[in-house]
Structure 1
Amino acid sequence: MNKKCILAALAVTLALSGCANVSEYRPMIDVKGVDGAKYEQDLSECRAYAQRINPQSEAVIGAVIGALLVAGSVALALDSGDYLGRSAGVGAFAGAAKGGGNAVAAQRKAVHQCLRGRGYSVLQ
């Protein structure tokens, strides 16, 4: 895989991770005794806090780490640099997906914790 393919894989992953955020995320809560208007305000504020976690930057970090780990492992295992570019591309794509996914999960967890801190019973 050449540099253009690696960059294309990263661009696709970053674009997808950019679509995934908590701006529309609605966790399941126990609504018994909950003031709907107050909940909507609290949810909006909690989402804003969670959006400080950036899936795109986590995807880039994951891509770099993935590329280095996979390319290094393949080079050591095969004792050759022949597949170095391809393996770096695969590692970059996988690392970016994992990094972006972890950041989205962290955003959701932050929303849950914020809502719990405000007294809501978050079920999922």
Structure 2
Amino acid sequence: MPYRKLSLILPAILVVGACTNVGANYQPVIDGPVSPNYNADLAQCQALARSQPTLNSRTAGAAAIGAVGAAGTKAIIDDSASDLGRTAAAGALIGAGASALQNTQNQEVIVRNCMRGRGYNVVG
């Protein structure tokens, strides 16, 4: 039984650990010299990226579309209403997750562009 709990918790820990250098926390790879103001510039660019939320109204819309799409597909394929709620919930999670991922990628782009605007040669 403890192995079953570990198998459920371990993927969540790995996902959280993998998210340390993403979104507004992104630290770009700089080619060439960095100025003495690098840390302050990076902090300001990350703060700018944090001003764009990971979860927003588009995330809610994506969750609704995912729920309706998944439930509709299940109803058509199975021709029944069994487990329709669980299917809708799974679709909502997938839709919200996809939207949150897109918003996180947008935050990284904000950090990159901001650092480029401050004169850094950002390569990654």
Asked whether the two chains share a fold, i.e. TM above 0.5, the reply is: yes
1:85 aligns to what?
Answer: 85
Q: Which amino acid aligns with 2:28?
A: P
8 Å contact from structure 2 (residues 46, 111) kept in 1 = yes
Secondary structure of residue in 2 paired with 1:55: coil
8 Å contact from structure 2 (residues 23, 105) kept in 1 = no
Unaligned runs of 5+ in 2: 1-11
Give the drift of 1:59: 4.2
1:47 aligns to what?
Answer: 46
Distance 1:35 1:99 in 2: 35
Distance 1:78 1:71 in 2: 10
8 Å contact from structure 1 (residues 75, 83) kept in 2 = no
Unaligned runs of 5+ in 1: 1-11
2:100 aligns to what?
Answer: 100
Task: State the TM-score, normalizing by the size of structure 2.
Answer: 0.70
Distance 1:108 1:66 in 2: 25
**Runs of 4 or more off by more than 6 Å in structure 1?**
none
Give the drift of 1:76: 2.3
Q: Which amino acid aligns with 2:82?
A: D
Count residues in correspondence.
105
1:57-102 per-residue CA deviation (whole Å, 9 max, x = no partner) reads 2544432221121112212222322231121011112122222222
Q: Which amino acid aligns with 1:65?
A: I
Matches within 5 A, 1:42-81: 42-57=41-56, 59-81=59-81
1:29 aligns to what?
Answer: 30
Counting aligned pairs with the same residue, the percent is 35
